[in-house]
Each structure stands twice: as structure tokens, then as C-alpha cells.
Chain A
């Protein structure tokens, strides 16, 4: 029983961070219907920003969030005006492959500058500490802090989108770009803002993630696919959907632990032979596929 509870708990914790990862993707898709393959690479940029800032200045890694957010916001804006703006006029193939080119570009730029090795943070007051919550659940302090800060940041973005004037303009553009333009909302500015917010939120998630996840230049694709699965489950373009879908996908990534529990309960020999840990992320891809087939709108989606 302990293993089940602690798997579910770990899944929910990581799910809160993953929701933050997917938030930017769903905002960008909602506003301009473009799929950003470089999303995971933005995350990688956030992870490296957090790591290098913390190592260079020696400050607490969790306090690097503003630096990472600023870097991500700038990166998003630069990508929009330097590249995406020209691609959205073209056919869909060009959009897909174009952002894929951006992904290869950023990934190998990181490889050139930082090298291929894994890097991790070994400093900070939270590293190495953990809490025993009971029922066999031991939560590392870094994960708890990252999850809590993710939820706060997610809530802040939600407030900006739903309660401020500029957020309403953003929503208006995603609902009906032409109508929004008649109301005097510049589509171009809103698109740029969506890319800025998208980049900023995902780099925040990266700076949180790097506290307990080592970073290398190739880490992006995995998180891109996870973010796609979350966005598909939550509904393309839905912000609140992304949060609950993030929790669900977080639990899906903990399927190996749940499998261990089932093996223990049913005690079939073949169940122990399945190399579940290596198949950890296959379930995420499979979940994406099944969601798209069964319910393409997602749980909270309004866009199709």
C-alpha cells in the first residue's frame, strides 16, 4: 500500500511542475494555432539559465526564477519576431518543420556551448533534505518547493489571463482573431505576447525542474512530448485544463511504481519480468494517442 500512495504522491508532485511546463504550449496554441516543437528546448534554456545563474552567483537555486522568466520571455519574443512571424503565413507543413528546425538549432547551440554531459545542482538549502509525511511517503524538499512554486506561478498566470485587461485581449484573440482586431486589439502584439508568456512560463518550470532533474542538451524532446500529451488531455488552448491534465500525466509517469504495487498484490511471475522502468514514458505517448482518438477536444477543450 505504501508504494501505491508514495507513487501517486510523487506523480502529483511532478504533475504540478509538468502542468507549468505545458502551460506555455497551450497558450501559444490557443492564440495562434501553431504547434511549437521547440517547447522542450525552451525548457532546457530555462534549466541551463537557472543552473548557471545559481552556480555563477552562488545564490539559492529557487531564487533564480525571475532571471529564468526574463530570459524565457525575451527568447519567446525574439523567436516570434525573428522567425515565427514569417512561418505562420505558410502552409502547415512549413510551420511544423519550421519549429522543428528551431528545436534542432537551439539543442545543438546548447551542445556547442555546454557540452553533452549531464549537469545538476548540488547547492542550496533544500538539497538533500526531505520530509516524512507518513504512510511511507518521503518527499524531497526540492520537489515539494518546486511543486508549490509551480502552483503559485500557474495561479498567477491564470489570474493575469482571466482578470486583467491584457489577458482578456489575449483570450479575445484566441477566440476570434478577426473580431478582436475590429475591437482594436493588435493580433501581432497578442501573438508576440503569447510567445513571451509561453517562453517565460516554461523557463520558470525549467528553473524549478533543474533542482531535482539533471540537464543535458537532449532533454527537450521528452518534455515536448509530455507537454503535448498534457495539452491534448486538457484540451488545446485550455489553461485550466492544462493544470488538471498535468496532474493526470504526472501520475501516468509514475505507472512503474503502480505496476510494482500490482505485482506485489497479484503476485504473478510475468508481471515482475516486464521492464516497466524503461517503458516509463511510453505510457505518456500512448496516452496522447488514445486521448486524440477517443476525445480530440480534450477534457476542457473548446477548440477543434
Chain B
């Protein structure tokens, strides 16, 4: 009960923020009622999914300061668990999703225990290495469809099927992921004020001091890593039901891991709204650039050139992201 009231308590933000957040949240709820193209709908679903990925990354990467560039492996674990269970044994989404989370968390403990002995660059590259190892294994593993991936055939089901999450219209998917989105915000809001959240921030500031205060640094990192992992795995399961045709190459590639970290950084790592702002800027930009410059103008890769240039620009000019700029302006106003 106490956790719930803490999760619902946003009072440490200025009133202006809450009004803006409330209005934007309301707009998200009524978005499907407004006239929109199918492309806009797909982009919005992508936006919600990636904000959730970003929120997950933000717990360990933002509040904890551990740069994790291997989140895609958990997208893969979640997606493949759901897809395999559904195709082979017809298991509903709401059962296979927790199973996927369990697998992902177990895997995160297995690799997290040795991983968190590393710091900084070494940690970041090691997470990439584990992610690529898992991807290579999935690409040759016949049980999960090897490199061709696995396809959920919607013909077997009778849409709208709320148990298996098989729908014809994107609007159902939109509301399911929107529900997860709001739950995610509440969870992170609770997390940042919880004991673990404070421990993590002290680890980020100074690990030696945190250790001397009696915090079990290694264990705190592993726990948070598992939390981040479950976020990513849940959305991975959703991804399997939404896309229906998943391959190791597009669920587990390094680009996904980087995109997840990048969104949190662009919005402002270590803040509640950061990943959402980052996803809100980056995902529409990415998909519309691809649509306009890539597909229409016939210039292959030009969308990604612009995207790469944006990454370089952000990291060179304002590494603390959009939220960092907002806070800087506020601080100046106060003084």
C-alpha cells in the first residue's frame, strides 16, 4: 500500500511539469480517436515500446551509471520465449510473458554476476559481447527457428484474441502497450524513491563511498540489472505478438541495444521523463526520415546518416540530454 502511494506520488516535480505530463498523457489516451494514418499508428506503438525499453535501461544505466549496451539480448529472450511457446504449445501471452521474464532474469543473473566486476568501458564492451554470443547461438539453434526466425501465424486464432494478443487492428495493440507504458512510469517513479534507487544513485556518484556506507554494491547492481531486464523482456514478448515474425537479426542486433541506450541519453539519463522524451523525439524522427528520405527519395541509408550525425551532435554538444538543458535553464532562472 505504501509502495502504491509512493508510486502515485509525483509531488516532487514542479506543477508545470505535471500539467504538461497530464495533458500529454491524455493526448496519448485519445490519440486513436483522432484521424491518423496507419503509419502514424505504427510509429506511436514503436514510440511506446521504445520508451519502455528506455525506462528499463534508465534504471541501471541512468540511475546506476552502468552503461549497458547489451539490452537487445533480453528483447530476444522475451520475444523468442513468447513466440516459441505460442507456436509450439499454444500458450497464451499472459502466461508466456512471465515465463520469458523468468528466463531473462535468470540469464541476467548468470551473466550479471561476472559482468559487474567490470567497470566503465570494459563493462560496456563485455555486455555487447554477451549479446552477440547469444545472438549467434539463436541463429544456429533449430528449436527457435535458427536464422530464419519464427513466425506466429494469426490464422489459427480468432481476432481479437485478448489471451494470445492476436489482433487485426493496431488500435488494440496500442492500448495494451499504453497500459504497460503507464504501469512502467508508475514503477520507475516508485523505484527512484525506493531504497534501491537511492543506493544506486550513491553508487553512481562514488562507488567507494557507497561501499563504505555499507551498501552491497555488487548485489545492488545485479538486482537493478534484473529489473531493467524484466522491463525489456516484457516489451520483447509484446514485440513478438505485435510483429508476429521475429528473427535474431532484427530483435537482437547491436543496433537495438544502442538505440535503447541512446534514447535514454538523448532525453536525459537518470531522470523519470528522460527516456520518454528521447523516444518521443527519436522514434518519429527515425521512421519519418526513413519514409521521406530513404523510401521516397530513393537514397538508401541517408536516414541513418542523419541519425548518426544527430548522435554525434548530441554527444558532443549536450551529453546530459534534453532534460539536462531543461534543468540548466531552470537553475539559471532560480538564481
A98 at the interface (CB under 8 A from B): yes
Contact A96 B308 (CB under 8 A): no
In the complex, which residues of chain A have a beta carbon less than 8 angstroms from the beta carbon of B301? 107-109, 111-112, 217
Interface string of B55-68 (1 = CB under 8 A from A): 00000010000010
A254 vs chain B, min Cβ distance (A): 17
Contact B140 A278 (CB under 8 A): yes
Cα distance A279–B122 in the bound complex, in angstroms: 24
Contact B136 A296 (CB under 8 A): no
Cα distance A107–B309 in the bound complex, in angstroms: 12
User: Which A282-297 residues have C-beta < 8 A from chain B?
Assistant: 282, 285-286, 288-289, 292-293, 296
In the complex, which residues of chain A have a beta carbon less than 8 angstroms from the beta carbon of B320? 91
From the candidates A87, A109, A285, A296, name the one contacting B305 in the complex (CB within 8 A). A109
From the candidates B136, B311, B312, name the one contacting A281 in the complex (CB within 8 A). B136
Cα distance A228–B69 in the bound complex, in angstroms: 15
- Contact residue range for chain A? 35 or more
A92 at the interface (CB under 8 A from B): yes
User: Which B289-314 residues have C-beta < 8 A from chain A?
Assistant: 299-302, 304-305, 307-312, 314
Interface string of B103-145 (1 = CB under 8 A from A): 0000000000011011011101110111011001101100000
Interface string of A175-189 (1 = CB under 8 A from B): 000000000000000
* Given contacts A93-B61, A101-B311, A288 and B126 within 8 Å (CB-CB): yes
Contact A108 B121 (CB under 8 A): no
From the candidates A95, A98, A108, A229, name the one contacting B304 in the complex (CB within 8 A). A108
* Given contacts A83-B312, A104-B308, A93 and B122 within 8 Å (CB-CB): no
Cα distance A96–B140 in the bound complex, in angstroms: 30
In the complex, which residues of chain A have a beta carbon less than 8 angstroms from the beta carbon of B314? 94
Residue of A nearest to B118 (CB): A292
Cα distance A232–B299 in the bound complex, in angstroms: 38
* Given contacts A104-B307, A104-B311, A109-B305, A94 and B319 within 8 Å (CB-CB): yes
In the complex, which residues of chain A have a beta carbon less than 8 angstroms from the beta carbon of B117? 293
Contact B315 A94 (CB under 8 A): yes
B146 vs chain A, min Cβ distance (A): 9
Cα distance A112–B122 in the bound complex, in angstroms: 33
In the complex, which residues of chain B have a beta carbon less than 8 angstroms from the beta carbon of A278? 136, 139-140, 147
Contact A288 B308 (CB under 8 A): no
A291 vs chain B, min Cβ distance (A): 10
Cα distance A92–B261 in the bound complex, in angstroms: 13
A103 at the interface (CB under 8 A from B): yes
Cα distance A115–B311 in the bound complex, in angstroms: 23
Contact A90 B315 (CB under 8 A): yes
B316 at the interface (CB under 8 A from A): yes
* Given contacts A93-B67, A296-B122, A98 and B136 within 8 Å (CB-CB): no
Contact A102 B129 (CB under 8 A): no
Cα distance A225–B136 in the bound complex, in angstroms: 14
Cα distance A137–B167 in the bound complex, in angstroms: 59
Contact A93 B130 (CB under 8 A): no
B125 vs chain A, min Cβ distance (A): 5
Interface string of B229-253 (1 = CB under 8 A from A): 0000000000000000000000000
* Given contacts A285-B136, A289-B130, A108 and B125 within 8 Å (CB-CB): no
Cα distance A230–B102 in the bound complex, in angstroms: 34
A81 at the interface (CB under 8 A from B): no
In the complex, which residues of chain A have a beta carbon less than 8 angstroms from the beta carbon of B69? 96
Contact B269 A93 (CB under 8 A): yes
A264 at the interface (CB under 8 A from B): no
Contact A221 B254 (CB under 8 A): yes
Query: Could you say which of A87, A93, A217, A293 has the most chain B C-beta atoms within 10 Å of its C-beta?
Result: A93
In the complex, which residues of chain B have a beta carbon less than 8 angstroms from the beta carbon of A111? 300-301, 304
From the candidates A35, A229, A282, name the one contacting B121 in the complex (CB within 8 A). A35
Residue of A nearest to B117 (CB): A293
Contact A97 B139 (CB under 8 A): no
B317 at the interface (CB under 8 A from A): yes
Cα distance A289–B254 in the bound complex, in angstroms: 16
A86 at the interface (CB under 8 A from B): yes
Contact B67 A92 (CB under 8 A): yes
B97 at the interface (CB under 8 A from A): no
Cα distance A104–B114 in the bound complex, in angstroms: 30
Residue of B nearest to A111 (CB): B301
B262 at the interface (CB under 8 A from A): yes
Task: List 29 A-B pairs, Cβ < 8 Å.
Answer: A35-B125, A86-B317, A91-B320, A92-B121, A93-B67, A93-B319, A95-B315, A97-B311, A98-B311, A98-B316, A100-B258, A100-B311, A101-B311, A102-B312, A104-B307, A105-B305, A105-B312, A107-B301, A107-B304, A107-B308, A108-B302, A109-B305, A112-B302, A217-B301, A221-B254, A279-B137, A282-B133, A285-B136, A289-B129
Binding site for A on B (CB under 8 A): 61, 67, 69, 114-115, 117-118, 120-122, 124-126, 128-130, 132-133, 136-137, 139-140, 147, 254, 258, 261-262, 265, 269, 299-302, 304-305, 307-312, 314-317, 319-320
Binding site for B on A (CB under 8 A): 33, 35, 83, 86-87, 90-98, 100-109, 111-112, 115-116, 217, 221, 225, 228-229, 232, 275, 278-279, 281-282, 285-286, 288-289, 292-293, 296
Beyond the given A93-B61, A98-B312, A100-B262, could you list 6 further A-B residue pairs with CB under 8 A, ordered by the A residue number? A92-B120, A97-B265, A101-B312, A108-B305, A293-B115, A296-B118
